[in-house]
Amino acid sequence: MSDTPRPWWQSWTVLAPPIALVVLLLTFGHHIAVWLAVLLAVVLGFAVLAAVHHAEVVAERVGEPFGSLVLAIAVTVIEVALIVTLMISGESGAASLARDTVFAAVMITTNGIVGLSLLTGAQRFGVAVFNPEGTGAALATVATLSALSLVLPTFTSTPGPEFSPAQLSFAALASIALYAMFVSTQTGRHRGNFLPVPTGGTGVPTTATVPPAESGSTPTRREEGHSSSPSARAALFSLGLLLVALVDVVGLAKVESHSIESAVKAAGAPPSFVGVVIALLVLAPETLAAVRAARREQVQISLNLGYGSAMASIGLTIPSIAVATIWLKGPLELGLGSTQLVLLTLTVAVSILTVVPGRATRLQGGIHLVLLAAFVFLAIKP
């Protein structure tokens, strides 16, 4: 068998994003038939896998935690643009669209991505090991952002689960400040708190500076047939394709939303569940990237993705919504209901118990996944 590499244009990870973009341009804004919805789902799946591949190439070039930060911010920026566009266009449920989408993102990331990553890491290596200092700081930021933007509107003096203009402005500024401080901490002086913990494949942190793969315990990208350090040109090329793939994912999720809405209505679920399904699709690239990192015994990268995505979702959405209120008409509901408040409180409490030891077993991963299942079930049957 020849070891000659294939031309770049023969790689499906290169072809998938532009092909998906063409499909998106041809179908955007149209109601599609069932058979076409199935075909779009297949194209969407390839776009998700391509996005994960190119995100990993960029991550290898820039290093952690910059790699996970790039993917989290890129996904969220496009997601926020979609939310604001739908709200300005006056789609049904626009008053609570931002709240439903952000809360779904928080629950999916903190329970779904985190739970799957812990379960995968513990299943393969016995114990999932991570840095409690960095992960704890990320969790504290997520909890504070959630309380300021999603909990307080329910208890303010403003009628309904809404903020007054002054309160919304404060929440927006606080969100930007908290997110900026976290990114500065994550990429600056305390960057080491967000790097994978070396264990040598034993599940016990070590002080060795030799990468786990060199000690013969954990497979690396080089062992999986990838270059250990892509060139700057290759990284920029992958960054461009990553952005195209993410536009494809969010755009195709929007195109599929009419079919999803019909399926949700046929199943007897409330209209708000459509937002949950779309959030699941949009966050698919980060979920797959997190699971793949956990399989390489890099659970810290998985947690960076999970909590980073939750932070970006709140920290970028709320300020964007605050600006969009200049054009928006009607109420803007941000406060959570009683069931959602209970789920958020339970998620924060369980997450604290998970993060503090710096180690987790399959049990902790399973608990988070059960919380996600409870959220999805109650979204269907409130």
Per residue in 177-206, pLDDT (tens digit) is 999 999 999 888 888 898 888 765 555 565
**Pick from 129-143, 207-221, 271-285: least confident:** 207-221
Query: Does residue 3 fall inside a structural domain?
Result: no
Query: Does residue 2 fall inside a structural domain?
Result: no
Tens of pLDDT along 263-284? 777 777 787 787 787 778 778 8
Average pLDDT, the chain: 81
Which range of residues forms the domain containing residue 171?
Answer: 8-380
Q: Give the model's pLDDT for residue 88.
A: 64
Higher confidence at residue 320 or residue 108? 108
Geometric angle at alpha carbon 322, from 321 and 328, rounded to 5°: 70
Q: Give the model's pLDDT for residue 225.
A: 38
Query: Does residue 1 fall inside a structural domain?
Result: no
Query: Does residue 50 fall inside a structural domain?
Result: yes
Query: Does residue 368 fall inside a structural domain?
Result: yes
DSSP H stretches of helix in the chain:
12-27, 34-62, 66-88, 94-107, 114-125, 132-146, 165-187, 232-266, 273-282, 284-295, 299-324, 338-355, 362-380
Please give the tally of structural domains in the chain.
1
Phi-psi region of 360 (alpha: psi -120 to 50; beta: other; left: phi over 0): beta
Q: Give the model's pLDDT for residue 1.
A: 43
Query: Does residue 354 fall inside a structural domain?
Result: yes
Q: Is the pTM of this model over 0.75?
A: yes
Query: Does residue 289 fall inside a structural domain?
Result: yes
Higher confidence at residue 92 or residue 181? 181
User: Residue 295 belongs to a domain with what CATH number?
Assistant: 1.20.1420.30
Query: Does residue 250 fall inside a structural domain?
Result: yes
The residue assigned the tokens 């244009």 is 9
Cis peptide before 65 (omega within 30 of 0): yes
Tens of pLDDT along 300-348? 999 998 999 899 888 888 888 888 777 777 677 888 999 999 999 999 9
Taking the C-alpha atoms of residue 86 and residue 93, their distance in angstroms, rounded to an integer, is 10
Per DSSP, what are the bridge partners of residue 128? 360
Mean pLDDT calculated for residue range 77-102: 70
